[in-house]
Every structure is written in C-alpha cells, then in structure tokens.
Amino acid sequence: MIKPIGSDQLNPLFVYDQDQHHQLMREAETLPSVTISSQAAGNAVMMGGGYFNPLQGFMNVADAMGAAEKMTLSDGSFFPVPVLCLLEDTSAIAGASRIALRDPNMEGNPVLAIMDVAAIEEVSESQMATMTQRVYGTDDGEHPGVAAFNSQGRMAVSGSIQVLHFSYFQDDFPDTFRTAVEIRNEIAERGWKNVVAFQTRNPMHLAHEELCHMAMDRLGCDGLVIHMLLGKLKKGDIPAPVRDAAIRKMVELYFPPNSAMVTGYGFDMLYAGPREAVLHAYFRQNMGCSHFIVGRDHAGVGDYYGAFDAQTIFHNEVPKGALEIEIFEADHTAYSKKLNKVMMMREAPDHTKDDFVLLSGTKVREMLGNGIAPPKEFSRPEVAQILMDYYKSLN
C-alpha cells in the first residue's frame, strides 16, 4: 500500500490507549481551557484521525505563512494550507503551558484535545491578508471560505496536541465517519491493491457514478473509496445524512460487491478550489489511496476559479516529489444523447452542448422540490427518490 506522507507508518494524534485516555480526560478538567473555532475543531479531528500526518499539532505563524506562500513548512516538509488554532481572546490561557481545547460544535463544549502550548502569537492583518489571498485566491468577503477563515480571531495558539474526541462526527455518523487509520485497515482487509478516491459534498448523480467506474477501469483499480465531507457546508447544500443515504443506495445497486467503500470525514469545507484539491490529495494518500479523482472546478464555489485550476496546480505549484498519489484528471461528465452513455465532454469533440443531458444544480433542486424526478440519463431513480423525499420534508 502507498506510504503515508512524511513517515513510514501513520501517526494519528488520537489517544487510543484507554487508561491514558481516561487519565487525560481527568487532567483536562483541571487545565485552563478555551472553546476553539469550528475550523480549528475540524483540523483537530483530521489530525486525530491521521489524515494530516505527520503534523503533530497546530502550526505557528511562520509555518502557516510557509504553507500559504509556498506549501512548505519551516523544516522543509510539505503541507498545502495553514492549520491554525485562531482565537479572539487568550486571557483564559495566558501563561499556561498545557491547555484543554473545547469543541464549539457540541452541546456543553466537551474537551476535544489537550495542547502543549509552544507559542501564542498575534497574526497581523497583512499576514491574514496574505494567507487568505494565497489559499483562497481572493479576498472577497462573500467567498464562504474567506468569510469563515477571517471570522476567527487573530491570536494563533500553536503546539502539539493529543486528541480525545472526534467531535459530533462519530456520534452522528457512526456508519460513515472513518479515520485514515480505519480506511487503511479496511483497504488491507479487502485485499485492494490500487485504490481511487472520490471526493464529494453532494449526492452522486449518474455522471459521478460513471466517472468513478471510468476511473477504476482506466487506472486498473480494484477499489473505490467514496469519501464524503461530513462537516459544515454552505447554506443550501444537502445535509450529510441525506447524501449518505443516496450514495449508499447507488453503491448497493450499481457497483459490484467489494468494489466500493462509502466513508466520510469530519472537516469544514474550505471552498478553496485548487489549494483544497491539493489538501484532498494529501489526506487521500495518508488514508491509503493510490489515485484521486480531481474534476472540473474541484472544491470550488461561484466563479472564483478556472474550470481546471485544481488540476494544473499539481503540475505548476506542488513541489516535485511532495505527493506519491496520482491524480486522475477528469472533465465535466454528462450523458450523450448521440452515444447513449455518459462521456467526459472533452472526449466527445463532435458534440455540442445540446447533444448532452445538462441540468443546472438550481434546476435539479427545483425539480426535486416539486416532486419531479430528473431524467434517468441524469440521476438514478432510486437516488432521486431519496432526494425528493428530503425536499418534500422541507415543505
């Protein structure tokens, strides 16, 4: 199986030893504590699960700036985005060398992790502006990722962490949430050698399904990991339990046994386009995948990024040799009325747009909301039914 990034073995930061875990939970109640942001909580969950291997904790400002500007930390290691714990007020932890980080997304703000504080630094407005521009490619406050990043405080608390909880993800999505460690183990148990990962924050329609089949066939993969984002999305996105049900139904009916695994991870969407595509590839390598599908406008939002910027960044900006995982570069896929099958649009040069079944997200939501199933060339009827039931429940 492909090696993790930066080490021979995955080093998750979650404390699995039961005695040590109980001891740390007791200690946490005696420590100065602070409730962190949702973005920082997502970072802690990802480090806990081994997805951000070999990071040992939250970055200091120098490392965060290095990640933003050149995807390289102070020690020369590779990481594509800053991983910060930003606070508005650090008075509760002033002078403390060891603190408890509390979860903002669960009632009662339970302890998520314990940190050994290495530094507390103020991030200047110019540093925030540089990180925002380099990671998100824009400083537009209407961009949901920019808004979320800049809504945090300006005090960066850095240091190694011991993760004690996986936030609400393990409780709310017990059948779907998986750590990178668990996914690696399951890949090994299934006997898969070449594995391609598919990222999604939406239900999968026929074009997505066929793209996965296409990638598996062309890459000679014996396994597919459908890996859905379970964290915070933007307003209007379909909730994770509905997406989960729709994707599971599709896999059950339209994939051979032992060929696809449905999993999810706890992280808030950044909508950072090209940079987020690199982050997605980073943690897919850590979870044991040899290949990763990057499609048109991957991890994008609005019209902030070019259609294929998330593919070209791997050729133009990612340091050579930083990643072993291979990228499967996909175009927009749609059903060809001429050929009666799903095609990548760039592979059908004799087609016009009218030769494809193309529906906008707005149009699909409108149809589903009115109890109208999209055409079979667009969506599997069993998937459409689950989505129609969801929209019906909103009325």
> Residues of the chain with pLDDT > 90: what percent?
87
Q: What is the mean pLDDT of residues 87-92?
A: 96
Q: What are phi and psi of 341, to 5 degrees?
A: -160, 165
pLDDT digits (tens, 9 = 90+) for 159-184: 999 999 999 999 988 989 999 999 99
109 catalytic, yes or no? no
pLDDT digits (tens, 9 = 90+) for 27-46: 999 999 999 999 999 999 99
Class of domain 18-167: alpha beta
For 208-247, the three-class secondary structure string (H helix, E strand, C coil) is HHHHHHHHHHHHCCCEEEEEEECCCCCCCCCCHHHHHHHH
- In this structure, of 75-79, 99-103, 193-197, 373-377, the range with the lowest mean pLDDT score is 373-377
Query: Is residue 149 pLDDT above 80, yes or no?
Result: yes
**pLDDT band for position 217 (cuts 50, 70, 90):** very high
Ramachandran area for residue 302 (φ above 0: left; ψ -120 to 50: alpha; else beta): left
pLDDT at position 144, please?
A: 93
Query: Is residue 147 pLDDT above 90, yes or no?
Result: yes
> Who has greater pLDDT, 356 or 232?
356
Q: What is the average pLDDT value for the chain, to the nearest integer? A: 94
Query: Is residue 234 pLDDT above 70, yes or no?
Result: no
Q: Which of 202, 365, 380, 395 is catalytic?
A: 202
Q: What is the mean pLDDT of residues 331-350?
A: 92
Global confidence as pTM:
0.94
357, β-bridge pairs: 335
Q: Which of 154, 201, 248, 365 is catalytic?
A: 201
pLDDT at position 384, please?
A: 94
Query: Is residue 395 pLDDT above 80, yes or no?
Result: no
Residue 78 DSSP symbol:
B
CA 37 – CA 47 distance, rounded (Å): 15
pLDDT digits (tens, 9 = 90+) for 1-18: 999 999 999 999 999 999
pLDDT at position 6, please?
A: 95
Domain ranges of the chain: 18-167, 176-265+273-394
**pLDDT band for position 233 (cuts 50, 70, 90):** low
Query: Is residue 132 pLDDT above 80, yes or no?
Result: yes
Query: Is residue 301 pLDDT above 70, yes or no?
Result: yes
Q: What is the mean pLDDT of residues 208-218?
A: 96
Looking only at the bridges linking them, the beta strands covering 291-294 and 326-329 are parallel
Q: Does domain 176-265+273-394 have CATH number 3.40.50.2300?
A: no
